[in-house]
Amino acid sequence: MDAERLSYHRQKLLDMKKELIEKLNEKYNEAIKLGTEGVQDSADEAYNIYNKNLMLGKVETDALKLRLVEQALQRIANGTYGVCIECEEEIEQRRLEYVPFARYCTDCKSELEKKGLIKM
Ligand SMILES: [Zn+2]
């Protein structure tokens, strides 16, 4: 991949990283607040727990994404970005456009997903 493309993806990843960190901080604070607010009755409590789990589920996805973004930045730093970590073929440009933190090419991704080995 040429330097121009690489820095383009790098910038995208850095923006994504910033956004995810902000989002995660926000979600964590919300979840903590829900847990500590005065609870009136058990129905409220159940609702709060439901909400909290919902939010934490979202946090989990964002945290996973953040990890993938950080790994992608790492791969840019050591010159292996844009190469599938499974088959070592180049990842399709179109795929990187949608998913700049992609680790796998489209073929490997669908194969691994079918086996239930990866979520993202
Ligand atoms: Zn592959």
pLDDT at 39: 56
User: Which CATH number does the domain housing residue 36 bear?
Assistant: 1.20.120.910
- Tell how far the Cα of 102 is from the centroid of ligand 1, in angstroms: 11
Q: Which two tokens stand for residue 58?
A: 């979202």
Nearest-angstrom CA–CA distance, 59 and 26:
10
Assigned domain for 61 exists: yes
**Has residue 36 been placed in a domain?**
yes
Distance 58 CA to ligand 1 centre (A): 28
Q: Which domain holds residue 95?
A: 3-114
pTM above 0.95, yes or no: no
Asked whether residue 47 is assigned to any structural domain, the reply reads yes
Which residues are found with C-beta within 5 Å of the ion, ligand 1? 84, 86-87, 105, 108
Q: What is the mean pLDDT of each run of 10 residues along the chain (120 residues)?
A: 93 97 90 69 79 82 94 96 96 95 96 87
The answer to the question of residue 120 being in a domain is no
Residue 119 lies in a domain: no
Q: Distance, CA 117 to ligand 1 centroid (Å)?
A: 14
Domain count, the chain: 1
- CB burial readout 24-56, b (16+ within 10 A) else e: beebeeebeebeeeeeeeeeeeeeeeeebeebe
- Token output for 30: 């919300």
Among 70, 65, 56, 68, CA closest to 26: 56
Examine residue 60 and state whether it is found in any structural domain, yes or no. Answer: yes
